[in-house]
Amino acid sequence: MRGFSIVTLGIFVAGYSTARWDLVTRLYELAIFAWDHAVVTRAAKGFAVLSVFFFLVFLPFERIAALETDLHPRTAGGGISAREQLKRRGSF
């Protein structure tokens, strides 16, 4: 008896089409639920609130940090590390 037959193919196609139909109907039900509960509107309101919060709180800190970085630049190899300073003092 062969492992693959027309019956095997038929069972696979039936199962595959049933699973796809179930996914499509669930997606349709989810879209109706989202429309009824104004999910898109609520998500847009949340995005707007978070954007305003970002612009009012975090953006000024970023601007202050950028200004301070420009006022007090640091070179990569110009300073001595804290560990090296402690070694030179004999404290480490």
Q: Which residue has the higher pLDDT, 36 or 5?
A: 36
3-state secondary structure the chain: CCCCCHHHHHHHHHHHHHHHHHHHHHHHHHHHHHHHCCHHHHHHHHHHHHHHHHHHHHHHHHHHHHHHHHHCCCCCCCCCCHHHHHHHHCCC
What does the pLDDT read at residue 31?
93
Where do the domains of the chain lie?
Answer: 1-37, 38-91
Helices 39-53 and 6-36 sit at what angle, rounded to 10 degrees?
60
How far does Cα 62 stand from its chain's mean position? 21
Q: Who has greater pLDDT, 49 or 9?
A: 49
Backbone angles phi, psi at 67, to 5 degrees: -65, -45
Q: What pLDDT shows up at residue 44?
A: 95
pTM above 0.85, yes or no: no
